Amino acid sequence: MTTRVGIVGAGAAGAGAAYALRGADAEVTILEKSRGVGGRAATRRKNDCRYDHGANYVKDGDERTDSLLRELGDEGLVDVEKPVWIFEGDGEIREGDDDEAHKWTWTEGITQLAKRLLARTDAEVRKGTRVERIAREGAGDGTDSETWTVTDTDGETHGPFDVLLLTPPAPQTTALLEATEWDDERLGTLTDAVAEVEYRTIRTFVLDYDFRESYPWYGAVNVDDDHEVGWLSREECKDGHVPDGESLLVAQMAPDWSAERYDDPLDEAGADAAELVADLLGDERYADPEWVDDQGWRYALPEGGVDDDAVRSAEGAGLFFAGDWTVGEGRVHRALWNSHDVGERIGEGAGGADEN
């Protein structure tokens, strides 16, 4: 019998799980709060520029990532060749210990990861659907089986699902678990475990300039957590992202700065961020960008992982979890493969998933 699978979130984790299930006897429905897919692996377009304003690239990590990305299609695939350098609180950018791993994106942006994964599945993606609560209840078909139903903020009910996979960041998953109707002692233990995962808040600024300088690095990362800028990268290093003669910097501010300035108006916070970037680069021209865009990520990067036994304790009841917070590392490829593995486990109970 076909297994009905509900997935909350169409980011790298949700898409990875759906991809793993494409060869299983499963009917997959994805509920996504945004109007697009990709989650933090997101791309935006403005003034003829295209930029990855959350996750900057997919690090290959191992051979299977490289193989998967090529399986999704070489067209438009971009490997950022320049290295990532480092800086400390003194702001001196210098060569770091770059491991020379591939840094993948696409000419159309990193959101292509989720789009291409989902395009190879039969999953139904319901965008603009913000999940508010979930419930475990009888199937209503005269049997003793139980299923999961999901209610969104518009009061619409989705399901029933034989299996439910939650992929939002841990704090949002905690809120869903707290609103879960399930009379089972595992729920409290599970909720407490997920609630322990802490996150760093990041506010990202995108700064455009009508000139382009040459640097030996693509990105620079603060390694001692003692600078207001946590990450700075040059989007012009990605083919097809920035028109010739322009430069586009992506500045991810440090967690403390980001949390303090999270709700400040863009014109004020953007001007201050540009000043910090100009100081970091030692060039006052960067204090006066042509235009500025921003994105706040309240739950950007997990500070650690969750107890694996805890998150797997409810799988027997058809409740699964996936995402970077379950492995404790804010990397796209870690979220992707964690969810892919979860999808395979779901698929094993649904007729067997494709092994690729």
Instruction: Identify the pLDDT of residue 338.
Output: 92
pLDDT at 49 over 90: yes
Q: Per-residue pLDDT for 203 more than 90? A: yes
Could you tell me how far CA 91 lies from the centroid of its own chain? Answer: 28
Mean pLDDT of 68-82: 92
CATH topology of domain 57-109+199-302: Polyamine Oxidase; Chain A, domain 2 (3.90.660)
The pTM (predicted TM-score) of the whole model is 0.92
Q: Are 63 and 197 in contact (CB under 8 A)?
A: no
**CB atoms inside a 10 Å sphere around CB 223:** 15
Mean of all residue pLDDT scores within the chain: 92
In the chain, the amino acid numbered 104 is W
Q: What is the pLDDT of residue 61?
A: 67
Lowest mean pLDDT among 94-103, 192-201, 207-216, 308-317: 94-103
State the SS3 of the chain: CCEEEEEECCEHHHHHHHHHCCCCCEEEEEECCCCCCECCCCEEEECCEEEECCCCCEECCCHHHHHHHHHCCCCCEEECCCCEEEECCCCCCECCCCCCCCEEEECCCCCHHHHHHHHCCCCEEECCCCEEEEEEEECCCCCCCEEEEEEECCCCEEEEECEEEECCCHHHHHHHHHCCECCCHHHHHHHHHHHCCCEEEEEEEEEEECCCCCCCCCEEEECCCCCCEEEEEEHHHCCCCCCCCCEEEEEEECHHHHHHCCCCCHHHHHHHHHHHHHHHHCCHHHHCCCEEEEEEEEEEEECCCCCHHHHCCCHHHCEEECCHHHHCCCCHHHHHHHHHHHHHHHHHCCCCCCCC
Token representation of residue 69: 């990305």
Number of residues that this document lists for the chain: 356
Q: What is the Cα–Cα distance from 344 to 185, expressed in whole angstroms? A: 27
For 259, other C-beta atoms within 10 Å of its C-beta total 16
Model pLDDT for residues 299-323, shown as the tens digit of each residue? 998 988 898 898 899 999 999 999 9
Share of the chain above pLDDT 70, in %: 95
Q: What does the pLDDT average to over 251-264? A: 97
Residue 143 burial class via C-beta count within 10 angstroms: exposed 0-12, middle 13-18, buried 19 and up: exposed
> What tens digit of pLDDT does each residue of 124-182 get?
999 999 999 999 987 544 344 789 999 999 999 999 999 999 999 999 999 999 999 99
Distance CA 166, CA 231 (A): 29
| pLDDT value of residue 246 | 97
Which CATH code, of 3.50.50.60, 3.40.1190.20, 3.40.50.460, 3.20.20.210, is assigned to 3-38+115-196+304-348? Answer: 3.50.50.60
Tell me, what's the pLDDT at 355?
41
What is the rounded CA–CA span in Å between residue 149 and residue 66? Answer: 37
Least confident of 27-36, 62-71, 198-207, 213-222: 62-71
* pLDDT, position 63: 83
- What per-residue confidence (pLDDT) applies to 144? 47
pLDDT over 60 (residue 224): yes
Of the spans 70-79, 243-252, 319-328, 347-356, which averages the highest pLDDT? 243-252
The strand pairing partners of 321, in sequence order, are 166
User: Hey, do 3-38+115-196+304-348 and 57-109+199-302 end up sharing a CATH topology, with the first three levels equal?
Assistant: no
Residue 143 is predicted with a pLDDT of 41
Compute the distance between CA of residue 152 and CA of residue 159 in angstroms, rounded to an integer. Answer: 11
The Cα 277–Cα 87 span in angstroms is 12
Inform me whether the pLDDT recorded for 231 exceeds 70: yes
> So where are the chain's domains?
3-38+115-196+304-348, 57-109+199-302
pLDDT at 307: 87
**pLDDT-derived band of residue 56, with 50, 70 and 90 as boundaries?**
very high
- The pLDDT score that the predictor gives to residue 350 is 66
Grade residue 251 by pLDDT with cuts at 50, 70 and 90: very high
In sequence order, which residues have a C-beta less than 8 Å from that of residue 174 and are 6 or more positions away?
A: 191, 194, 195
